[in-house]
Amino acid sequence: MESAVKKLKVYCETSFWSYLVGGPTSDEKVARWQALTRKWWEEIAPKCEIYVSQHVFRESIKGNHDKAAQRLGLIAAAHEVDGSGDDINRLSALLTTSHAIPDTESTDAEHIATASVRGLDVLLTWNCRHLANPRTLPRTVSVVARAGYECPAILTPEEFLNRREEFGI
């Protein structure tokens, strides 16, 4: 009897959903990121368990009403993981007080804390300023580890696509 392969647990942060439903644009970078996000969604997502938290829902309702409805429609199919609780609050606060994440970006800290405390494998994001930032990521990983958790791999869809073999996909 073959053992079932465990699916990767991927937390999709809000920026992922925004690029997934993004409309036509003349901005080449945005168009490229939209295309890569759709490619990831079509090729990789079916092989993973997709997770979101109330933090993603809270951010996704903002902005253009039609786009918000599209985001929420897609998010509804994901597993919802609880992004609340003392452990998540403590880790989120630690991420900001240690300056791994700016204190003005508490929701970014909540995404990392949620994915870490809930034991998810990957945090997928296009937020390269505070989340998938190679300069700040080592500090983030260190803070999470010092708190007793394993930090998920924090990647853009492009990075994930380039490293898919590493994840067995």
**Other beta carbons less than 10 A from residue 123's beta carbon:** 24
Residue 117 to residue 150: CA distance in whole angstroms: 8
CATH of domain 8-167: 3.40.50.1010
Q: How confident is the model at residue 54 (pLDDT cuts 50, 70, 90)?
A: very high
What is the SS3 assignment for 9?
Answer: strand
Task: Say if residue 3's pLDDT is above 70.
Answer: no
Phi/psi region, residue 69 (left: phi>0; alpha: psi -120 to 50; beta: rest), is alpha
Burial 137-153 (b: 16+ CB within 10 A, else e): beebbebbeebebebbb
Sign of the dihedral through C-alpha 69, 74, 80, 81: negative
Residue 46 to residue 28: CA distance in whole angstroms: 27
Residue 151 to residue 145: CA distance in whole angstroms: 7
Query: What are residue 48's DSSP bridge partners?
Result: 8
**Other beta carbons less than 10 A from residue 51's beta carbon:** 23
DSSP assignment of 33-101, as one string?
HHHHHHHHHHHTGGGEEEEE-HHHHHHHTSS-HHHHHHHHHHHTTSEE----SHHHHHHHHHHHHTTSS
Per the prediction, the chain carries an average pLDDT of 95
Residues of the chain with pLDDT > 90, as a percent, come to: 95
What is the value of pTM for the model shown?
0.94
Give 108-148 pLDDT, tens digit per residue: 999 999 999 999 999 999 999 999 999 999 999 999 999 99
* Mean pLDDT in residue range 43-72: 95
